Amino acid sequence: MITVEKPVDRTKYSLLSVVIPVYQEGSHIKNTVKIIEDVLISNNITYEFIFVDDGSTDNTFSELKSLARDNWRVSVVRLSRNFGKESAICAGLDYAAGDMILTMDADLQHPPEVIPAMVDAWLNEGYDVVEGVKHSRGKENIIYRVCAKFFYYMVNKSSDVNLERASDFKLMDRKVVEAWKKLPERTSFFRGMSAWLGFRRKEIEFDVAKRVAGRSKWSLFRLLRLAANAVTSYTTVPLHFITLLGAVMLFGAVVLGVQTLYMKLSGRAGSGFTTVILLQLIIGSAIMTSLGIIGLYLSKIYHEVKARPRYIVSEYIRGGEDK
């Protein structure tokens, strides 16, 4: 059972934890921090930064370390290798101490100017989750766009979680994060999980900005993996679809079987190779696809059963500590 602890008091001195997963962003991370910090300071928001270095191999960690040395509000969690953005966010949430916790990207694609409105919705309107939703998706190539559309269509049709405009840019109350941390799943899909958790939610639209520098780390393979993960996290509809497919094929088999027998008995059976080949192909591909879908769920169960930790921390620099 997941219970809610005592709610935190919401005052204008409440602490905001800004959780940022960082991978290969060394060239511009200091600039990013400066821009976010300017927004926070000019809006009198009390804040801390939790950076999670997701196993970067460039100068990201040394940059973060120097940030932490100069700024006691900066904490850095270094993961032992690249675990992926989802796991990095989990790590950040585990280390965040704030009354409200904000997750955002390190490349300024999530505009910091929206943060004050998010904090305001938490502070003055009593919302527990303030979601940044994509007003426009920014510049993406056509293939990516089509794939994304298809993927979201699938998820929307098969589960009641609307993911199309969801992003990882969101502000959550302490109690939401505590509830999230108690979910036992290993392979999670953060974006949708906060929708699943519920609570009082508000959406704030934002325009996805251009990446400041560096490049996106999503290769096609990574995206496909994320998509498979997202679908299997929320719904078992594809499994039922297999049963349905089987039923349809059975119906076809009965009809064709009767027809074949009739032809045979009436002595009219003859050259039917095309039909045989087509049937072979259809049945073969249906079976393969079905096995693949079952395999996806099987691998999910396999990973969950192993129950390995979501991430491993190799170093932790707590803000304000002597370094």
Nearer to ligand UDP, 221 or 273 (CB): 221
Q: Smallest distance from the beta carbon of 260 to ligand UDP, in angstroms?
A: 53
Strands 100-103 and 170-173 come out as antiparallel
Q: Which two tokens stand for residue 10?
A: 């919401």
Nearer to Mg ion, 32 or 194 (CB): 32
Cα-based distances in Å from 63 to 51, 57, 213: 11, 12, 15
Give the number of C-alpha atoms closer than 13 A to the C-alpha of residue 73, restricted to the C-beta side.
Answer: 17
In the shown chain, the binding pattern of residues 145 to 174 toward ligand UDP, with x for contact by CB under 6 A and - for none, equals ------------------------------
Q: Smallest distance from the beta carbon of 191 to ligand UDP, in angstroms?
A: 11
Q: Smallest distance from the beta carbon of 106 to Mg ion, in angstroms?
A: 8
Nearer to Mg ion, 139 or 181 (CB): 139
- Please tell me whether residue 103 binds Mg ion under the rule CB under 5 A: no
Radius of gyration of the chain (CA): 25
Residue 274 burial (CB < 10 Å; 0-12/13-18/19+)? exposed
Q: Within positions 105 to 134, which residues make up the interface with Mg ion, using CB under 5 A?
A: 105, 107, 109
- Phi and psi dihedrals of 222, rounded to 5? -65, -40
**What kind and span of H or E run contains 134?**
strand 129-136
In the shown chain, the binding pattern of residues 215 to 254 toward ligand UDP, with x for contact by CB under 6 A and - for none, equals -xxx------------------------------------
Q: Which two tokens stand for residue 321?
A: 């500590």
d(CA 98, CA 93): 10
Nearer to ligand UDP, 14 or 229 (CB): 229
Nearer to ligand UDP, 14 or 87 (CB): 87
Q: Smallest distance from the beta carbon of 193 to ligand UDP, in angstroms?
A: 16
When CB distances are held under 5 to 8 angstroms depending on the partner's kind, the choice from Mg ion, ligand UDP, none that residue 100 binds is none
d(CA 269, CA 37): 80
Strand-pair partners of 133: 205
Q: Within positions 72 to 111, which residues make up the interface with ligand UDP, using CB under 6 A?
A: 82, 84-85, 88, 105-107, 109
Nearest to 286 by CA among 233, 250, 235: 250
Where along the sequence are the contacts to Mg ion (CB under 5 A)? Answer: 105, 107, 109
Where along the sequence are the contacts to ligand UDP (CB under 6 A)? Answer: 21-23, 25, 54, 82, 84-85, 88, 105-107, 109, 211, 216-218
